[in-house]
Amino acid sequence: MNSQVTPRGMYLEHFGLRAAPFGITPDPLFFYPGNTRGELLAALLYAVLQGEGIIKLSGEVGSGKTMLCRMLAERLPPQVDVLYLLNPRLEPDEVLRAIGSELGLDMDGCRPDAVLRALHGELIARHAAGRSVVLLAEEAQGMPVDTLEAVRLLTNLETASHKLLQIVLFGQPELDRTLDLPQLRQLKERITHSFTMPRLPMALLPDYLACRLAAAGRASPLRFERGALRLLARASQGTVRRVNILADKALLAAYADDAQHVATRHLRLALADAPFHDGKPWYQGRVLAAALLLLAMLALAALLLWQAA
């Protein structure tokens, strides 16, 4: 199955959609508040507005961290200036310059100590104007240890009662292991709030799919066969990015089949076309296990008959 063969516009019209419901680009329009995601967003907002320490959110690849990051930026009040650190592999001096650039400062040719003074001065000025600043650092598991330490030192920029820069680290579980290193003990102690993105359980799959479809303009429920849901849950392993990829391909397969629901065969076609599929049928392991069990039972029966003879 090649998803490029089907015109996207006809696919949307077939299912009564205004937009593609299962894109993998984080779009706040498609935010799913279930599976504690709404609570996580509220907790992140509360932690940022408290303005103390460093906040950390970790989760597996494709679990929805970037979506939560975008939602956080969107929900913060207008007096909060949001900075993004999108390249985690910067050296300590480079990360300070990147933050300065986000603040609109020209730091070309400045020495590291001058960069830090300029950052401090700009943050003081924004605080005096009634504004606060939050740095959202994505893919933080990729930061070198020295860079993480430089980020920690930025939390020393403060007034008598307020931190001048609030930092939120978004990263994969490797970030947690990095923070366990002895040289990062001080950084770990500065983390006042730590959150984890949960996997999406099968029980919530219908709700998640319905939420995305409704956001895309679907006026009535779109049925996924129970077998399709089981296969989707097993193949995605609770990762919403995989759910989106497979659901999108399954809708294309259903459209090509002129169907108004998603059958198990459509999910099998989607899985065969998925970039993370290893080429083996999802049931292969179970069939092999069942065959081995049957052979063992036959061997045991033969042995019992031989002993009885």
Taking the domains of the chain in order of start, what are their residue ranges?
Answer: 8-27+200-277, 36-196
Write the DSSP symbol of residue 167: E
Hey, what are 132's tokens? 């606060």
By the 8 A CB rule, do 131 and 80 touch?
yes
Q: What percent of the chain has pLDDT over 70?
A: 86
Provide the angle, in degrees to the nearest 10, between the axes of the packed helices 37-50 and 65-75.
50
Residue with tokens 């779109």: 222
Give me the pLDDT at residue 124, please: 93
- Residue 161 confidence (pLDDT): 77
- Under CATH, to which class is 8-27+200-277 assigned? mainly alpha
User: What separation in angstroms does the CA of 64 have from each of 27, 57, 106, 136, 285?
Assistant: 11, 11, 34, 15, 29
The pLDDT score that the predictor gives to residue 136 is 96
pLDDT (tens digit per residue) in 163-196:
899 999 999 999 999 999 999 999 999 999 999 9
Contact 51, 19 (CB under 8 A): no
In this predicted structure, what is the pLDDT of residue 3? Answer: 44
| CA quadruple 271, 272, 277, 278: dihedral sign | positive
User: Edge-to-edge, what's the strand order for the sheet holding 80-85?
Assistant: 80-85, 132-137, 166-171, 54-58, 191-196
pLDDT score of 111: 85
Q: Under CATH, which number does the domain 36-196 receive?
A: 3.40.50.300
Res 270 pLDDT > 90: yes
Of residues 297 and 110, more confidently modeled: 110
Question: Residue 298 pLDDT > 80, yes or no?
Answer: no
Q: Spell out where the chain has E strands.
A: 54-58, 80-85, 132-137, 166-171, 191-196
Q: How confident is the model at residue 255 (pLDDT cuts 50, 70, 90)?
A: very high
Range from 206-210, 270-274, 291-295 carrying the lowest mean pLDDT: 291-295
Task: Answer for the pair 197, 68: CB distance below 8 angstroms, yes or no.
Answer: yes
Rounded to a whole number of angstroms, the distance between the first and last alpha carbons of the chain is 57
**Rounded Cα–Cα distance for residues 249 and 266 (Å):** 8
Q: Are strands 191-196 and 166-171 parallel, antiparallel or unpaired?
A: unpaired
Q: What is the mean pLDDT of residues 116-136?
A: 93
Higher pLDDT: 115 or 55? It is: 55
- Per the CB < 8 A criterion, the answer to whether 53 and 192 are in contact is yes
Cα–Cα distance, 180 to 194 (Å, whole number): 14
Residue 5 has pLDDT above 50, yes or no: no
Taking only Cα atoms into account, the Rg of the chain, rounded to an integer number of angstroms, comes to 25
Mean pLDDT of the 82-89 span: 91
**Mean pLDDT (whole number) for 67-91:** 94
Q: Per-residue pLDDT averaged across 244-251, rounded?
A: 95
